[in-house]
């Protein structure tokens, strides 16, 4: 259950945000834009440029959708704070990215249990202007829509280690961020690239499928791709066979403490789906 209530758009799909809510966006946007310099991947920065988001007020979905439709045919769909698995996959399969129309309070500006408008718009939307990445997410939704409840648990790991917390080795050999869960988090933006604590390894589907994670701490494992085609090419019907293989092999041992042993870290959290 969420403590937040999504705001209802008017007949033109615009939301009336308060001065404080817009001020919260401004704080988050300006500090993240400073932090991602030299850390975010080129495709993300290109998407930021294309979207032309306001720095001092929460973007309105019609303005974001105008750009996304032109670039890749995608759009953002306003949803409640939390949505079921099935609805999540249905939206993605139809090239609609879910976004709850609320923004975190100042008291939770560094840590939030559920995804808010900042995470969804700032974190996810820039890469939805990239055709290969956008097609990967669409195919992910289609496969998830047809998957069983148990299969979706493993598909969630693919999403988590790519769309949310993925790293990319660019052509110049620089390690950069493309995951929205990192790019919308002040702490994890620096930690993911510069800390010596987490494990960073090349993305390999079976390894990712067998790797557990926690949503409420700084990540202990990051997977690295070289190009978006690396993940686009795995998103076909064969992935279900690989999921069943992963089920038979079992999970790797977790490299993080049990939840009761560790306090929460302060970074934005996405749908655990």
Q: Model's pTM, two decimal places?
A: 0.93
pLDDT for residue 270: 40
pLDDT tens per residue across span 10-65: 999 999 999 999 999 999 999 999 999 999 999 999 999 999 999 999 999 999 99
Q: How far is CA 98 from CA 18, 194, 243, in A?
A: 22, 31, 25
Residue 7 lies in a domain: no
184 found inside a domain: yes
Provide the number of structural domains found in the chain: 1
pLDDT mean over 170-174: 90
Instruction: List all residues 6 or more positions away from 164 whose beta carbon is below 8 Å from its beta carbon.
Output: 179, 180, 181, 182, 270
User: What is the bridge-based pairing of β-strands 175-177 and 167-169?
Assistant: antiparallel
Residues 6+ apart with CB under 8 A from 121: 53, 58, 59, 64, 76, 99
CATH number at residue 137: 1.10.800.10
- Asked whether residue 269 is assigned to any structural domain, the reply reads no
Answer whether residue 263 is part of any domain.
no
Q: What is the pLDDT of residue 268?
A: 37
C-alpha 169/C-alpha 173 separation (Å) is 6
Within-domain flag for 55: yes
Three-state secondary structure call for residue 255: coil
DSSP-derived 3-state class of residue 254: coil
pLDDT per residue over 175-192, tens digit each? Answer: 999 999 999 999 999 999
**Model confidence pLDDT, tens digit, residues 215-252:** 999 999 999 999 999 999 999 999 999 999 999 999 99
Q: Mean pLDDT for the chain? A: 93
In a domain, 273, yes or no: no
Domain-located, residue 146: yes
Domain annotation covers residue 267: no
What Rg value do the Cα atoms of the chain yield, rounded?
A: 18
Residue ranges making up the domain that contains 244:
19-253
């Amino acid at each position: 259950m969420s403590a937040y209530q999504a705001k209802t758009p008017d007949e033109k799909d615009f939301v009336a945000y308060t001065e404080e809510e817009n001020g919260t966006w401004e704080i988050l946007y300006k500090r993240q834009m400073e932090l991602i310099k030299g850390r975010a991947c080129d495709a993300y920065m290109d998407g930021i440029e294309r979207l032309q988001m306001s720095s001092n007020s929460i973007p309105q979905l019609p303005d974001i959708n105008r750009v996304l439709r032109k670039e890749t045919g995608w759009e953002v769909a306003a949803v409640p704070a939390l949505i079921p698995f099935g609805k999540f996959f249905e939206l993605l399969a139809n090239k609609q990215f879910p976004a709850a129309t609320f923004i975190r309070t100042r008291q939770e500006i560094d840590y939030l249990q559920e995804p808010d408008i900042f995470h969804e718009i700032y974190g996810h939307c820039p890469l939805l202007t990239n055709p290969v990445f956008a097609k990967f997410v669409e195919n992910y939704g289609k496969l998830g829509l047809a998957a069983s409840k148990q299969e979706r648990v493993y598909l969630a790991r693919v999403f988590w280690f790519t769309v949310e917390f993925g790293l990319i080795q660019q052509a110049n050999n620089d390690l950069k961020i493309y995951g929205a869960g990192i790019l919308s988090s002040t702490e994890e933006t620096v930690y993911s690239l510069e800390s010596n604590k987490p494990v960073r390894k090349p993305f390999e589907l079976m390894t990712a499928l067998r790797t557990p994670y926690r949503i409420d701490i700084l990540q202990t494992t990051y997977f690295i791709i070289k190009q978006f085609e690396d993940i686009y090419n795995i998103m076909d019907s064969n992935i279900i066979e690989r999921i069943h293989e992963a089920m038979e092999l079992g999970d790797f041992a977790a490299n993080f403490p049990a939840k009761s042993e560790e306090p929460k870290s302060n970074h934005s959290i996405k749908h655990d789906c």
